[in-house]
Structure 1
Amino acid sequence: MSRSQLVAEHLPLLRRYARALTGNQASGDAYVGAMLEALLQDQSLLDEQHGARAGLFRLFTQIWNSVALNDNPDVAPLQAASEKRISNITPLPRQAFLLLSLEGFSEEEVAFVLDADVAEVRTLADTAGREMAAEIATDVLIIEDETFIAMDLESLVKNLGHNVIGVARTHADAVALAKNKKPGLILADIQLADGSSGLDAVNELLRIFEVPVVFITAYPERFLTGERPEPAFLISKPFQPAMVSAVASQALFFQRNSKNKTAKAS
């Protein structure tokens, strides 16, 4: 397989990670674009010691920690990169937690990606777990047409300390429940029982009120095409409980920070 084919194979999941890390489609994709530009200029930047995927995530992390695109997604990716160096753009504990829980890397691979050792990775993941456990509980709407998956999600959400306000199996049910009870978080499948779309239901709700959303689908690559507005928080089926916990906490983290910034500005 050629270098370009290897990159293309792993790109959708790298974009998912970038979005979970930044909480924003444009910002996450800007960092991935910066990484690709750097790789085009110098292919030796890709260290495949732990495989192509880990190498791509390692290079992405190096770009993330050196180019200040997060404050301005419109900045040209490689423009004066050396002048845009900042430290700790995002806390290392969240990076470690997402790499382990969302992307399923081993501790050794995460250590390689973050240029750390395994002991440090374990400490970072433990720190992230404690911080995320301190998140304020909220009301959760589950949009899922498969009964057993919905039950698993409901149990998981409750174990995380949240309250489930309802489970919707169709677009119409989701909109009615959300309008009535105003959830603080939505976990949504994309393809629903009656052929309707969870994505469409969420987009309709977001025109009415602001709420963080995590999409859960068996085909995440179909929604990372770059051709339209895409979900920022996306989980693959089958999912691990730690993955749902990590991404839901990320979504709540960015929502909380956004509200805090708004309050300070006013």
Structure 2
Amino acid sequence: MCYCVSDLKAEVKPLRGREGQTVTLHTGLAKLQSDAKIFGLFGPVRPEIFIVESQAFRGEIITEYKGRFQGRLQLDRETGSLTVRNLTINDTGLYQLQIISEQVTYHNFIFTVYASVPTPNIRNTPHNPSVDSRLVSGSCSVVCSVGNGKEVTLSWYRGEEKLNNTSSPHQADLSLPLEIKGKNSATYSCIATNPVSNQTTILSIEEHCLQHADSSDCARCITPTELVVRSVLSALVAVATIALLVHHFWRHRRSP
């Protein structure tokens, strides 16, 4: 009996999963015949056989699990559907199930496994005079960043409204700036997504904008310590001036 690469012109079903989760490759069959043989192959060019189930001479059903999926497979003998547990990134690829009975049926799946998207990070943009001059009444410039991965998109939202987004298959990290002008009570959030997960970071106006603006507006303010030092110096200067004037006065009175 031949178990070779199936006809890839047959329907290929796309599936997605996340690392650590479980996926089931459904054949859609109601019930297999008792003498059916099942072969599972992984990979499109030189596929590796990862499961063989057939009936032995005395009618016993024998299932052989091979290769990378050992210990992570469960075959439904009734329908031929296959469950893969504890997914890894390396499980991405083409799966082919061949069920041989009175006729041969092929069940092809393109399966993609994604890592969970990281949590995005928000920080203030570097200071420069042109930016500082605009930091008034809570306005500020921030940038959101996240580690890039497979099909990751980074977006800024104001409430439910998407303001902008970015994605790239090449960058090591994704970054997306945002400038907030003037006081407002809107909720801003930075959201990182991929096809199987998402992570959200809420912008803290108090942390990133109000404090930043206050420190900029108070660039010429005097701290309490500076005030004490200046007061002491002023007092010393005043005392020295008075002493000099008194000395000068008595010198002139004693002169003939």
TM-score (structure 2 length as normaliser):
0.23
Larger radius of gyration: 2
Q: Which of the two has greater strand per residue?
A: 2
TM-score (structure 1 length as normaliser):
0.22
Q: Which of the two has greater helix per residue?
A: 1
